[in-house]
Structure 1
Amino acid sequence: MLFTFALLLIASLTCEGQQLPEIQQVSVNKANTFNIKDFGAKADGHTVNTKAIQDAIAACTKAGGGTVLVPKGFWITGPIKLNSNINLHISEGAVLQFSSNTDHYPLVKTNWEGLDAIRAHSPIYAVDAENISITGKGILDGAGQAWRPVKKNKVTPPEWSQLIKSGGVTNEQKDTWYPTERALKGSTMKRPGVIAEGFDFEKAESIKEFLRPNMVSIINCKRVLLEGVTFQNSPAWCLHPLLTQHLTIRNVTVRNPWNAQNGDGVDVESCRYVLIENSMFDVGDDGICIKSGRDEEGRKRGVPTEDVIVRNCTVFHGHGGFVVGSEMSGGARNIFVSDCNFLGTDIGIRFKTTRGRGGIVEKIYINNINMNNIGGAAILFDMYYMAKDPLAVFSGEDKPSIAFEPVSEATPQFKDVFIKDVVCNGAETGIFVRGLPEMNIKNIQMENIFIQSQKGFECIEGSDISLKNAILYCDDKTVVNVQDSKGVVLDNIQYKPSDVLLKVTGSRSANIRLLNTDAKQATKEVVLGTNVQANAVSKK
């Protein structure tokens, strides 16, 4: 065989003594190189080179595999399909510019946010392939401006004026611009493009520009490498590996406008054996995201994302730095995140789900994380994603307990998460944990945490939550709020002078332990709500 694969054996241990997974690596046949210029490609900024590039890929495949070379220059193309044993190499100085003509992207049956759907063809696509890679120091641009809607409040007045002049249409409220009438029409429909909602190709065609493609779609592949390249300006998610094994993403840069809707960096969905390292993300939605399908369809697929390593990455902008969910219905486990920087993201470490998702997220190990200028929570676990806050309407001292709902396969679970060595210089909230009454967030262990924030630590419906060796420098009058939680351990907590160190509310709160913590900085050490048992808190 001309193509073989090497094993990348990672033998080091994580914070909890867990051995990291082994990731198989791509091996390229260096004997074969096919330059797209030899197949008629022209870097003239006008010629659409789809056929020339695809012909080069076909010739490379016929020869047993190798490198398809995109040399220095500006190359326009439509969507590209990769075959097994192909290395698409984007040379330094090369820009592979995907066409802004949406007619070049046929509708296909695919997957969107965990559901079977009809969407426009991805600019780069591979399915059922093995040993494929995209490498080099060049740039791939997805022409996202031809697809994405833009909200008026997310651009400057001159930018909004320029959008209006460029064409397209606005909605009735005149607060969102769409590139076409079809895109606007799609925005008014229920679950547009979703097959289970009754969409077929004819119906989908009437809203085509709303059905924005993910830029790089890798489906059911084995041994995949993305290395060195800059991926930018995606119509929707930028990198989307689905049902893929042995994936390495190394030294890449992912860039999207900060206001790009669904402009995620990388969404790893129902994949196994994944390494993401030494990469940078500056995007419009979540930076590095773990998914595994949505609701009943995701549970029926039943393929978790597991055995994932994320290390030495930086997220400059995005809704979340490292994110799990919310489409995690197939579950996620054995995920290791270390030595990352989240600088200016809305949330730093983000776990999100909601009733109806189902799925179990467990055995997550996170350490050595630096954060700065976080708009929301530095560390967040929330089981009410995109749901109305059940306590938002109450403003009194003691908010009522949340009602139970029956536990079923649609009840999600977060448990067994280990976070240590985190520094955050500036956040709205330090740590936020909010589970369901029928399914608490369980066994979250946090250690060596330093956070400067407006609010401190809030724990609602949590079980066996521990915070050890933590510095919570918050501006709020109360450092730690615990509601309807049990088995919460606060060990060696340092804080600024405050009115209250620990406030406990909710009749279900029990076994709260305050250990090795100096109470002299607080006017009141512990405040109990009216429905809390007197022995709910113990001190040592």
Structure 2
Amino acid sequence: MSHTMKQCLHLRNPHVLGVISLIIILGSLNVKVAECRVYSGLANIEYPAINCRKHSAVLTDFGGVGDGKTSNTKVFESAITKLSQYASDGGATLIVPPGKWLTGPFNLTSHFTLFLQKGAVILASQNELEWPHLPVLPSYGRGRDAPGGRFSSLIFGTNLTDVVITGQNGTIDGQGSYWWDKFHKKQLTLTRPYMIEIMYSDKIQISSLTLVNSPTWFVHPVYSSNIIITGLTILAPVDSPNTDGIDPDSCTNTRIEDCYIVSGDDCIAVKSGWDEYGIKFGKPTQHLVIRRVTCISPDSAMVALGSEMSGGIEDVRVEDLTAINTESAIRIKTAVGRGAYVKNIFVRGLNLNTMKYVFWMTGSYGEHPDPKFDPKALPIITGINYKDIVAKNVTYSAKLEGISNDPFTGICISNVTIQVSAQQKKLQWNCTNVAGITNNVTPSPCALLPQKDKTDCVFPNDKLPIENVQFKTCSL
């Protein structure tokens, strides 16, 4: 219930009849008085969520100004702080109404929903003074853009439970061009902000929004569990730097589905820490399902596993994905020094059109946080399964590059039809230091992946716990 609604309901109390009489008298004297009216934009709004809330308020209740020019940073902070008192009483929703709401970063709270109505636009401030500084992530050891710390994400939360960020396809605009320009000019001393980052948290939903022009990664759940990301439209120029769409990072039990992503980097990048820092932190990404996602990224992957995978990546299930004009489909990126593993990866039902590579595995992805990585920390890449793939207008069918004395093993590819482009390369399958089997694959694979008749690569029949989570129907 909004603050305004509560004020209106309070007028039903007989003890305020005298106040009502006074208002009538003042009104008859043409004296202006504050009107008490319920916000009219909430009629019959229903939405799906992991949990509904007992209380709600509108950003304007706290003095929000949606003119695209006035800073609402303190308004968001004040609203969320006040609504946090309802965490133990059914939780609260903060409604962002139509308008352009300029703001710096703000932190979420537990048992809380941020709801963007249709026509609502949250605009990220381009005033660096509004952006708090955070320490580097412990599993990375340094910032991605610069060795020092990093700017806070626009929408941030840590050590939270039960958080929903959703709406009626409202928009969050990171106004990233300011940051991209600084990146290109090498003027950054801290790592650029992410758009949404949730750390050390459980039960997270991010859904039914349009996200545009993030300074760098768009959605970054990290060290968290039980995450559902669904119905997002994510848009950035295809030449924008490091604008990954969704990056589950050292997370367990995550579901990503029904998203449309146009990116200057990987549409989805699965991560778990970087070299010795990720090895020490030791938190894998596991039990991840990705389905019904469309990707456009001419210079990057539809789904990348790594390159920062030093906490391990396992039990990833990818199905019913579409890529258009994208560099590669499912790419594994690793290197000497990463350690850990990428294993038990299951992929089926890809529809690919205009690709440089269909299959791409790289064992020499040599970006390192510093020279302290262990050259004996060799990654284990095994149990990689692909099936039921149709690809058209492809330059290379596959580039599979394992590591010398550390081959990638257990690769299975079945029921794949690749139609090469007019600019096809003569060597369609380039394979080194890999081992596995194939069946019913066109063009014919390399000798390291021999044909084995009747092979049908595996895809699990069981469901992950996160797939069984059902949304409730909530209303405002």
Partner secondary structure for residue 330 of structure 1 = coil
Partner secondary structure for residue 59 of structure 1 = helix
Deviation at 1:115, TM superposition (A): 2.9
- For structure 2, the 5+ residue unaligned runs are 1-47, 144-148, 368-373, 455-476
| Deviations 1:223-280 (CA, angstroms, capped at 9, x unpaired) | 0000101111111111111101000001011111111111111111100000000111
1:434 matched to which residue of 2?
A: 401
Describe the shift of the 1:351–1:437 C-alpha distance in structure 2 as closer, same or farther (beyond 3 A). same
Describe the shift of the 1:110–1:87 C-alpha distance in structure 2 as closer, same or farther (beyond 3 A). farther
Describe the shift of the 1:294–1:359 C-alpha distance in structure 2 as closer, same or farther (beyond 3 A). same
Deviation at 1:112, TM superposition (A): 8.8
1:121 matched to which residue of 2?
A: 152
1:351 to 328, 332, 337: 332
8 Å contact 2:139–2:277 — kept in the other structure?
A: no
8 Å contact 2:139–2:281 — kept in the other structure?
A: no
1:234 matched to which residue of 2?
A: 214
Are residue 40 (structure 1) and residue 37 (structure 2) matched? no
| Deviations 1:367-391 (CA, angstroms, capped at 9, x unpaired) | 00011111x211111101248xxxx
8 Å contact 2:225–2:253 — kept in the other structure?
A: yes
8 Å contact 1:142–1:215 — kept in the other structure?
A: yes
Counterpart Cα distance in 2 of 1:114 and 1:359? 14
**TM-score when normalising by structure 2:** 0.78
1:143 matched to which residue of 2?
A: 175
Aligned-pair Cα RMSD in Å: 2.0
Are residue 49 (structure 1) and residue 67 (structure 2) matched? no
Partner secondary structure for residue 269 of structure 1 = coil
Deviation at 1:28, TM superposition (A): 3.1
Partner secondary structure for residue 253 of structure 2 = strand
1:414 matched to which residue of 2?
A: 381
Sequence identity, in percent? 30
Partner secondary structure for residue 197 of structure 2 = strand
Counterpart Cα distance in 1 of 2:122 and 2:278? 34
Partner secondary structure for residue 315 of structure 2 = strand
Are residue 458 (structure 1) and residue 430 (structure 2) matched? yes
2:292 matched to which residue of 1?
A: 312
1:518 matched to which residue of 2?
A: none
Counterpart Cα distance in 1 of 2:388 and 2:289? 17
Are residue 340 (structure 1) and residue 321 (structure 2) matched? yes
Counterpart Cα distance in 1 of 2:136 and 2:366? 24
Counterpart Cα distance in 1 of 2:120 and 2:401? 47
**TM-score when normalising by structure 1:** 0.69
Counterpart Cα distance in 2 of 1:341 and 1:364? 18
2:250 to 270, 278, 302: 270
Counterpart Cα distance in 2 of 1:276 and 1:258? 21
1:445 to 388, 409, 412: 412
Partner secondary structure for residue 296 of structure 1 = helix
2:467 matched to which residue of 1?
A: none
Query: What is the letter of the counterpart of residue 161 of structure 2?
Result: E
Partner secondary structure for residue 389 of structure 2 = strand
8 Å contact 1:270–1:293 — kept in the other structure?
A: yes
Partner secondary structure for residue 365 of structure 2 = coil
Deviation at 1:215, TM superposition (A): 1.4
8 Å contact 1:28–1:67 — kept in the other structure?
A: no
Counterpart Cα distance in 2 of 1:220 and 1:26? 21
Counterpart Cα distance in 2 of 1:433 and 1:480? 11
- For structure 1, the 5+ residue unaligned runs are 1-24, 150-167, 169-175, 187-206, 388-406, 473-478, 494-540
1:471 to 442, 445, 449: 442
8 Å contact 2:94–2:115 — kept in the other structure?
A: yes
8 Å contact 1:215–1:237 — kept in the other structure?
A: yes
Deviation at 1:26, TM superposition (A): 5.9
